[in-house]
Each structure stands twice: as C-alpha cells, then as structure tokens.
Amino acid sequence: MRNLEIFIADDHPLLLKGLEELLIAKRFNVIGKATNGQDALNFILKNTPDIAILDIEMPLKTGIEIAKHCAKHKVATKIVLITLHKEIDLYLLAKKVGVFGYILKEFALDEIETCIESVSNNIPYFSKELKKHIGFTEESNSVLNSLTTSEKRIIKLIAQHKTNKEIGHLLFISPRTVEKHRSRIILKLDIAHETGALLTWVLKNKHLFS
C-alpha cells in the first residue's frame, strides 16, 4: 500500500502542506501537488496517480468537477475528496459522480490512513464522522425497502408537511386510512410513538427518498 502513487490538491497552502506532511509521516508516496483544480486535473491526466486526494472547493475546477471528468473519460485514478463541508447534498453528489472516498478535514488525521487502505482495495470509503453528522446510515437506506409504494408516497407527502386530510385527498383515500399507513410506517421504521417523531425522522432522512 505504501508504494501507491498519491497526488494531493488544495488551494490553501497551509492545509496542503499539512496534508503532505501527514501523508509523508505515514510513509505514503506523494508524487505531486497543486493549488488549483485545473493544474490538478492536468497532473492527473498526464501521470495517472493511483489516488488523488482533492479539496472540493478550488479555483478553476472543483474536486467534484475533476471527479466527473475522470469518470467520464475512464481515468484509472481513484478520487478522494477532502473538505470542511458537511452538507448532505455534497455527500450525495460525491457518491453520484463516483468518487472513491470522502473525508472531513477535521478528522483527516484519524481517517486518512483507513481511507487510503480501503480505496486501494477498491472499497469506497465515506467518513463515518460525516455520516454521524448528517444522520445517514446504510441501514436507513435499506429499511425503506420494507415500505410499500403507498407508504413511500405518504412519506414524501409528510416531508412536504401535508396533513392526513391533504394526503388523503391527493391519494384518494380517507384520512383514517392515511393514519393506518402512518402507524405501519412508524412500526416498520422502528420510530418512537411520540407526537412529531415520524415527521422528524422524515425530514432528517428525506434525501433517501427525494
């Protein structure tokens, strides 16, 4: 694993220097670095390092844009994004464009080695700390498979703050039937039987069914 060729890019010189020193201290082979996205992409296309660790926000090209380009042109380099941002939208976009890793800068010291090892074995690595922050788990995603089509429709409408009466009107069922569906959803998702608990869960996890 230590023979892997690693490239790094960040538009903040101090953070770039810190990342380089961290990797070198852990005996990784850093073959190049850049402070903007265009230089980073040019280096990746020319040298095809095994792994490129990129800041998401950089001048000229973002880490996401570089990842998209590499995926589109089937570049072998595996992209790892490193960022201060904890937004769910960025996390989902990163997964969508096929990045192999996503870690938070504040936890890089703890996670970078594990991330590189995972990625080098063709296993994507997404920060556990980020998942904790956004309330995302793979279990949350898979549990939706237990819901019926009607229940999933109701969840989407709950996310829009629709009342039982409004949901019933839209789905051509009675408010009482909506309430029965809600009870089954709560049971299947193992949500506490408290006022507003289902709405809280839906709003926290709406990225799973949007």
- For 16, 55, 67, 113, the CA distances from 86, given in Å and listed in that order, are 20, 13, 18, 20
Q: Name the phi and psi angles at 8, rounded to 5.
A: -130, 150
CA distance 122 to 51: 11
- Please report which confidence band the pLDDT of residue 129 belongs to, taking 50, 70 and 90 as the band edges: confident
Res 86: pLDDT: 76
205 pLDDT higher than 90 = no
Res 182: pLDDT: 92
- Please report which confidence band the pLDDT of residue 84 belongs to, taking 50, 70 and 90 as the band edges: confident
Q: Name the phi and psi angles at 55, rounded to 5.
A: -70, 145
Domain holding 164, by residue range, is 140-208
56 and 19 together in one domain: yes
34 and 66 together in one domain: yes
Q: How far is CA 100 from the centre of its chain?
A: 10
CA distance 173 to 178: 7
- Please report which confidence band the pLDDT of residue 201 belongs to, taking 50, 70 and 90 as the band edges: confident
Q: What is the mean pLDDT of residues 48-54?
A: 97
Q: What is the mean pLDDT of residues 71-83?
A: 94
Q: Residue 149's domain is classified under what CATH number?
A: 1.10.10.10
Q: The dihedral of CA 185, 186, 188, 189: what is its sign?
A: positive
Boundary of a domain, candidates 115, 132, 149: 132
93 and 149 together in one domain: no
126 and 163 together in one domain: no
120 and 152 together in one domain: no
Q: What is the mean pLDDT of residues 153-168?
A: 92
Q: Which two tokens stand for residue 113?
A: 């080695």
Q: Residue 72's domain is classified under what CATH number?
A: 3.40.50.2300
Res 46: pLDDT: 97
Say which residues have a Cβ less than 8 Å from residue 86's Cβ, sequence separation at least 6.
Answer: 104, 130, 133, 134
Boundary of a domain, candidates 79, 107, 132: 132
The 10s digit of each residue's pLDDT in 21-34 is: 999 999 999 999 99
110 and 13 together in one domain: yes
Res 131: pLDDT: 67
Say which residues have a Cβ less than 8 Å from residue 131's Cβ, sequence separation at least 6.
Answer: 137
165 and 190 together in one domain: yes
26 and 127 together in one domain: yes
162 and 64 together in one domain: no
How many separate domains does the chain show? 2
Boundary of a domain, candidates 132, 157, 187: 132
